[in-house]
Amino acid sequence: MRQVHAAKRCQGLPSRNRYLTWEGSPRTECREAGRRLAAVPEGDVVWRTARRLHEALAGRVLTRCDVRVPRFATANLTGQTVTEAISRGKHLLIRTDAGVTVHTHLRMDGSWRVRPASERVPGNHRIRLILGNDTWQAIGYLLGIVEILPTTAEPATVGHLGPDLLGPDWDPAEAERRLRANPSRPIGEAVLDQRNLAGIGNVYKAEMLFLRGVNPWRPVGEVGDLPALVDLAKRLLEANKDRFGQVTTGSRRPGEETWVYGRAGRPCRRCGTPVRTADQGSDSESRVTFWCPHCQT
């Protein structure tokens, strides 16, 4: 069932648009080999989205607020000035001078588009939220979370997150401490748990474990150099945060961007062994993972 769903997600490619920093795509996990994978909403993509939203909204008065989720459908933030848009792990926070925060999360399929204010927004059932000013309108599509809350209540929403890999509070020692708190947990699950460190998604999980030669099922307590793994996660996100796409191999050529992610059954780029794939994690949160059984032990 999951496999069918994953394969369905692989259809089509994202379009680029000059107003976009990032446009989400509905094919985020794909077992099929050889297909190009679009950027998925991991920490780097969310960081970039926050920067674009900040550029378009911060310092400007909202003249449009159209919330299309039932719980907040009557919310009206017009007249308020957006002070900043930031990312916190994979969460987006848009704050106003009235002490209000718009909290959104892209989940798997969400995206934001920034368009000129003068452009007509076509009716679209995928739109969840529109925030606009005299110059720009930011349109949120298929957002997994949309909520409007007092800025003082943010800790209840994002306070559980571990150190943010791309945040000003990044603290590798704290991330390591949180990971080690559950030494028997498989490392592939532990690094995806946003309570340990915030920002890693499935692509970087698979890639960082390959690059460190660590099997995704190895218990955290048996990972030899955990600080090096945490440092690598930071470097991968930093390297990709300013560009479209997610590249860990150094090659941006289609089909060459990753070592193992999305390459099930294809030969390992190092040793030629077919890349394996399996679901990892508890049933409710299991994610497909990729690894080379020869290079990763």
Q: What's the angle, vertex CA 34, arms to CA 33 and CA 40, rounded to 5?
A: 85
3-class secondary-structure state, position 69: coil
Q: Please provide the DSSP assignment of 199-266 as one string.
A: S--HHHHHHHHHHTT--TTSBGGG-TTHHHHHHHHHHHHHHHTTSSS--SSS--STT-S-SSTT-TTS
Q: CB of residue 239 vs Zn ion: minimum separation in angstroms?
A: 22
- Per rule CB under 5 A, is residue 53 in the interface with Zn ion? no
Candidates 29, 42, 207, 257; catalytic one = 42
Residue 57 binds Zn ion, judged by CB under 5 A: no
| Active-site residue identified among 41, 48, 128, 257 | 41
Least separation in angstroms between residue 37's CB and Zn ion is 19
**Nearest residue relative to Zn ion (C-beta):** 268
From CA 35, how far away is CA 20, in angstroms rounded?
23
- Token digits for 1? 């069932």
Maximum pairwise Cα distance, the chain:
60
Least separation in angstroms between CB 287 and Zn ion: 21
- Reading phi first (left if > 0) and then psi (alpha if -120 to 50, else beta), residue 234 is in alpha
Q: Is 256 a catalytic residue?
A: no
Residue (205 or 276) nearer to Zn ion, CB? 276
CB of 201 to Zn ion, least distance (A): 22
Burial level of 201, CB count in 10 A (0-12/13-18/19+)? Answer: buried
| Binding mask of the shown chain, residues 233 to 272, with x at each position contacting Zn ion by CB under 5 A | -----------------------------------x-xx-
Residues 269-288 that bind Zn ion (CB under 5 A): 270-271, 273
Instruction: Scan residues 99-118 and list those touching Zn ion (CB under 5 A).
Output: none
Q: How far is the CB of 290 from Zn ion (least distance, A)?
A: 11
- Rank residues 22 and 291 by Cβ distance to Zn ion and give the closer one: 291
C-alpha distances out from residue 72 to 51, 60, 76, 149, 251, Å: 25, 22, 9, 10, 44
90 is catalytic: yes
Among 35, 126, 178, 294, binds Zn ion (CB under 5 A): 294
Residue 119 C-beta: closest distance to Zn ion, Å: 48
Q: Which residues pair with 280 in a beta bridge?
A: 287
Give dist(CA 17, CA 82) in Å, integer. Answer: 24
Is 23 catalytic? The answer is no
| CB nearer Zn ion, residue 162 or residue 262 | 262
Nearer to Zn ion, 48 or 276 (CB): 276
274 is catalytic: no
Q: Of 25 and 215, which has the nearer Cβ to Zn ion?
A: 215
Of the pair 76, 273, the CB lying nearest Zn ion is at 273
Q: Which secondary structure element, helix H or strand E, spans residue 92, and what is its range? A: strand 91-96
For position 292 contacting Zn ion by CB under 5 A, the verdict is yes
Residues binding Zn ion (CB under 5 A): 268, 270-271, 273, 292, 294-295
Active site residues: 41-42, 90, 287
